[in-house]
Chains A and B, each alone.
Chain A
Amino acid sequence: MLLEVRNLHVGYGDAPAVWDVSIEVDAGEIVSVIGPNGAGKTTLINAIAGMLRSRQGQLRFDGVDMTRVRPHGFCEQGIALVPEGRRLFTKMTVEENLELGCYLPRPRAARAESLERVYDLFPILRQKRAQPAGELSGGQQQMVAIGRALMAQPRIVLFDEPSLGLAPTIVDDMFDIIVRVRDGGAAVLLVEQNVIKALSVADRAYVLEQGRIVATGLPDELLKQPHIREAYLGV
């Protein structure tokens, strides 16, 4: 198993807490965590990205105990985050944002090839490479955020609400990209409010409500459960 989260407790300040959460992601998988606003999805993904300390429980990545790793060490293990709201370095150029993704020595050595790959995936970014990232449209900024993660040569990419605030046509593109990221060799952990989309691309899924996992299974199975249909699909 690539990512193993066992009985994890995370809680900080005013953010929603996560209680006793166990999830797994294997290499080559897309795993979705769905749930309503405030369920703790971002808290969970930030803990896996190393931005939040867990209070209790296990967090293992490829066998390494990540609870002992400092925040800047997570990327080195192969974990890359596409954060909620994109969180680009807005005053820096598009290319500088991408280069921050390959800050560590190993991905830095492959900077040129990685840049080419990202520009082939998102040709518009090649045109906008010298512009401050803050001047791009929402969809283009999301491309930069994904590109930055890919520059790190990750083994898992964590997507936090990638469709949030994007126009519906671009949302479809984003989910296509997520599938391509997986096909490119990285596992994907996706946290989304857009339940239908998140389940349509997922190999497996978890339902997080009020900080706890309340259901898990294959997307088709989850879609048949009355609670899921009622709470998320409104039928």
Chain B
Amino acid sequence: MPSATLLGQALISGVLAGGMYGLLALGLSLSWGLLRLVNLSHFALAFLAAYLTYELGTTYHVAPWWSVLIIVPSMFAIGLAQHWVFVRFKVNELGSLLITFSFAVILEVGIQLYWTADYRRFETHYATWSIKAGPFYIPVLELILCLVAGVLAWGTWLWLRKTYVGKALRASAEDADIAAAYGVDHRKLAYLLSGIGAAYAGVAGTFIALIATLAPAQIWAWLGVVFAVVIIGRLGNPLGALAAGMLIGASESIAMAVFSPAWAPVVSFSVLIAILLWDPEWS
């Protein structure tokens, strides 16, 4: 059994790493829960944003906090374009899985053609900064990521609860015809939500560029875990997505510390299966 300090450090690192799961899960959960569109290309969009952050940072020396101002609106626009395809071809839930898988593959190939399959690392002097709190180290970038994810999740939650647009989106998710009968133009709102989901992928991508090593095939690395997180957090629930991300991040990290790193991939789906056994109608 590892020491209390090691476990505490594992818990902190895990929760902070889980912030990334939560941030990636956020956009996915919104489009799946509220539009019934499962967007596999969400990860590819995040990596496109990461590569753009890398490119702007290394070639043009644009700091990530400036490049994010270009990247997020661009991703929003890509989200709108993607949604146009969904509307144009009347894509349903299963169809969205297939069509966004092909989007993801195309993006992966595009990234590979432009940036090659080599590993890329966006080196910054602040990447390794950390705060020392007692015996524990808290990495600064990951802490900022978690704060940003927290603000986005909380803001989105409030938006869905308190505004008419948010309520209309939730109502449409349950009964689109009746919502329309009361004046809700679901098509417009769906475009907005798709854009927001893609914009969140842009935010996630900026952080991926700063904390991870980039390679085209990495697009698929988070897919399994983040899907589990989306379901554990309940579809369409932004705060749930973030909480589930942190729960899974912490569980993985503890499992790695107590057993071995090889156990980490088992954790997310074990938690998911346990939850579904406890309540089959969880999601």
Contacts and interface: CB of A to CB of B under 8 A. Distances in A.
Given A89-B170, A91-B174, A92-B171, A104 B181 contact: no
B210 to A, nearest CB: 38
Contact of B171 (A73, A83, A89): A89
A37 interface: no
Contact of A75 (B164, B175, B181): B181
Contact of B179 (A74, A100, A108): A100
A104 to B, nearest CB: 4
A98 to B, nearest CB: 11
Interface string A82-93: 010001011110
Contacts of A80: 181-182
Interface stretch (B67-75, B183-191, B241-249, B261-269): B183-191
A71 B167 contact: no
Contacts of B147: none
A49 B177 CA distance: 10
A39 interface: no
Given A103-B164, A108-B164, A90 B174 contact: yes
Interface size class of A (residues with CB under 8 A): 20 to 34
A80 B183 CA distance: 10
B180 interface: yes
Nearest to A83: B178
A91 B168 CA distance: 13
Given A92-B167, A108-B164, A100 B174 contact: no
Given A87-B175, A89-B175, A90-B174, A71 B168 contact: no
A103 B184 contact: yes
A99 interface: yes
A71 B177 contact: yes
Interface residues of B, number: 17
Interface of A: 49-51, 70-76, 80-81, 83, 87, 89-92, 96, 99-101, 103-104, 108, 148, 152
4 interchain residue pairs of minimum CB distance: A104-B183, A75-B183, A71-B180, A72-B180
Given A72-B186, A99-B167, A152-B182, 18 more contacts: A51-B177, A51-B181, A72-B180, A75-B181, A81-B178, A81-B181, A87-B175, A87-B178, A91-B170, A91-B174, A92-B174, A96-B170, A100-B171, A100-B184, A103-B167, A103-B183, A103-B184, A104-B182
Interface of B: 164, 167-168, 170-171, 174-175, 177-186
A152 B183 CA distance: 9
Contacts of B177: 51, 71
A148 B182 CA distance: 9
A100 B180 contact: no
B147 to A, nearest CB: 30
Contacts of A72: 180-181, 183-186
A101 B161 CA distance: 16
Given A72-B185, A76-B183, A99 B164 contact: yes
A50 B181 CA distance: 7
A71 B178 CA distance: 10
Contacts of A103: 164, 167-168, 182-184
Contacts of B182: 75, 80, 100-101, 103-104, 148, 152
Contacts of A51: 177, 180-181
A149 to B, nearest CB: 9
B181 A49 contact: yes
Q: A72, A80, A96 — which one has the most chain B CB atoms within 10 A of its CB?
A: A72
Contacts of A75: 181-183
A86 B175 CA distance: 11
Nearest to A96: B167
A6 to B, nearest CB: 22
Contacts of A73: 183
B174 to A, nearest CB: 5
Q: A71, A100, A101 — which one has the most chain B CB atoms within 10 A of its CB?
A: A100
